[in-house]
Amino acid sequence: MSTDPDTIAFYQARAPHWVFHSGERHSHQLDAFLDRLPPGAAVLELGCGGGRDAAWMRARGFAVDATDATPALVTRANQAFDLGARVMAFHELDTSAAYGGVWAQACLLHCPREALPDVLARIHRALVPGGWHFASFKLGMAEGRDLLGRLHNFPPSDWLIAAYETAGFVIAAQEIYAGKASDGTMRDWIDLTVRKP
């Protein structure tokens, strides 16, 4: 199972209260990722949350399939942006060569570590040859919960990169940086941009 009930419940309870402001922007890594894709490519978003990134992909002309495991977040994303977003957990991804890109900003970090290799294999299978995938993770040494009770896999960078390479990906870019998490703690993050050969 690639979802944690307590983590889903956390987002389910808070989603109806999310407020979107006109000045809020999409993720700062998104444009560089989209620039790697052919114009109009199909993009799967895992963990679409409130829908801002998916809305920007659509505005740039991409065919977006926005998904999230939390029903209330899917509802909120559709209310805000009319995305046609749908409920799907990571382990429910079951398609082959359907997407030019898979975008997973700050969501796969909630996948239990033992389930992550299967999820990465599913992402690899869902991409067309030459397709691209982006994901960001909070780094650490042991799986655990943050101060808000959400499960994180907290992998070391070498373990994570090895998992991606085992799944068949080529690492195109990686960046490690310090960032403040939503529970207020400072952690090292890693952004990975990978390609299916």
Residue 185 domain flag: yes
What sign does the dihedral 126-132-137-140 (CA atoms) show?
Answer: positive
**Residue 132 forms part of a structural domain:** yes
Give the pLDDT score at 122: 98
Answer yes or no: is 133 within a domain.
yes
Residue span of the structural domain in which 184 resides = 5-13+27-195
Locate the DSSP E strands across 8-167: 42-45, 63-68, 86-87, 99-104, 127-138, 144-145, 151-152
**151 vs 11, 57, 80, 112, 186, CA distance in Å?**
12, 28, 27, 7, 16
At residue 33, does pLDDT exceed 80?
yes
In a domain, 18, yes or no: no
**Model's pTM, two decimal places?**
0.95
> Could you tell me if residue 47 is inside a domain?
yes
Q: What is the pLDDT of residues 101-124, one digit of tens each?
A: 999 999 999 999 999 999 999 999
Q: Is the pLDDT of residue 165 over 50?
A: yes
Q: What does the pLDDT read at residue 83?
A: 96
Cβ pair 47, 53 in contact under 8 A? no
What is the residue-averaged pLDDT of the chain?
A: 94
Q: Is residue 21 part of a domain?
A: no
Query: What domain count does the chain have?
Result: 1
Looking up residue 65, the CATH number of its domain turns out to be 3.40.50.150
pLDDT given at position 19? 58
User: Per the domain annotation, does 19 fall within a domain?
Assistant: no
